Each structure stands twice: as C-alpha cells, then as structure tokens.
Amino acid sequence: MRALLKLSGLIDAVNDGIGKLTYWLVLVAVVVSSGNAVIRYTLNTSSNAWLELQWYLFSAVFLLCAGYTFLRNEHIRIDIVIGRFSKRVQSWVDIFGILFFMFPMTILIMVLSWPMFWDSYVSNEMSSDAGGLVRWPAKLLVPVGFFLLTAQGVSELIKRIAYLTGHRDEPGEKMHSHS
C-alpha cells in the first residue's frame, strides 16, 4: 500500500502542477480576447486565427484542469445525499462512482478521441476557416485531459482504499469540503 500511496502522491503532484500552470492560460486567453476585440473595433480588422486561439485556450483550461479540479474536490458531487453519511460510507460511494461511472466514461473518451487526434496530426489538418490554425493541438487536448482525469481517479481510489484499510488517516475535510 505504501507504493500505491507514493504513486497517488506523484499523480497528485503532477495534476497540481499542471493545474497551477494552466492558471496562466486563463490570463493568456483574456489578453488574446481583449486584444482581438480592441483590434477588431479600433482597426476594423480581425483574424480567424485569434478567434480559434481563444477557443483552443479555453479548451486547454477546461480539459487540462479536470484532474486538478478532482484533486481539489471542486467537481460536482452528490453531497446533499451522502453528506449525512459517515466518512467510511462516503468513501465507499466514491469508490463505486470512480469504478463504475468515472473510469468507463474517461477511458472510453480517451480511446475514441485518440484516433481523431492521430488522423488530424498525420494529415496536418487545418481549420476550414480562412487564416485558421492547425487542428491537431486542440484535438490532442481531449485524450490528454481525460488521461489526467483518469490518473487522478486512480489516485483518489488509492486514497479511499487506503483510508478504508487503515493505511491512511481519515480523509478529512479536503475529501468532502463542499456541502
């Protein structure tokens, strides 16, 4: 169990680091969006590349921060229902949800999105809009984001099993901080 908890700590550190780095993409998206609006309204010109860059950045923030959001317990939960139960019951509900809902969904999305990315990469797919960007970086975000979310699911699963088997202290408030 000690090795699994180290793996969990490594996954947590990776998602925490990626999440904190991704914060900066929000700033970049705001600057790009603001700059695009200023240029469009003052110089009466625009570029599809800037518009596409905005949605690439938004997609990156959303997809790359999914694992970070799960780590920080900021995802959507059913706390109204399970918040009344003991931490042990809450851990069992989390284990069930991770195994039977989260993993099937995230793994399926990773498996289905990889060929779409690969085809786009191999063909160097470009946007159909004039002046648009290459598409494969945006398509790569999907399997990468869902991989990070799946990895965080593994980490959370390890932590709950460790708690239930007595290898880790009570999950504490971080595990269920929102009601």
Interval 14-71: pLDDT, tens:
999 999 999 899 999 999 999 989 998 998 888 888 889 999 999 999 999 999 999 9
pTM above 0.85, yes or no: yes
Q: Would residue 179 count as lying in a domain?
A: no
Number of structural domains found in the chain? 1
Interval 125-165: pLDDT, tens:
998 888 889 999 999 999 999 999 999 999 999 999 999 99
Q: Would residue 35 count as lying in a domain?
A: yes
Nearest alpha-carbon partner for 72 in 6, 126, 149, 143: 149
Query: What does the DSSP assignment read for 11-61?
Result: HHHHHHHHHHHHHHHHHHHHHHHHHHHHHHHHSS---HHHHHHHHHHHHHH
d(CA 57, CA 73): 23
Q: Would residue 105 count as lying in a domain?
A: yes
Q: Would residue 146 count as lying in a domain?
A: yes
Q: Would residue 174 count as lying in a domain?
A: no
Q: Would residue 58 count as lying in a domain?
A: yes
22 in Cβ contact with 60 (< 8 Å): yes
Interval 79-107: pLDDT, tens:
777 878 888 998 999 999 999 999 999 99
Q: Would residue 122 count as lying in a domain?
A: yes
d(CA 178, CA 88): 17
Domain assignment of residue 71, given as a range: 2-164
Interval 1-27: pLDDT, tens:
899 999 999 999 999 999 999 989 999
Q: Would residue 172 count as lying in a domain?
A: no
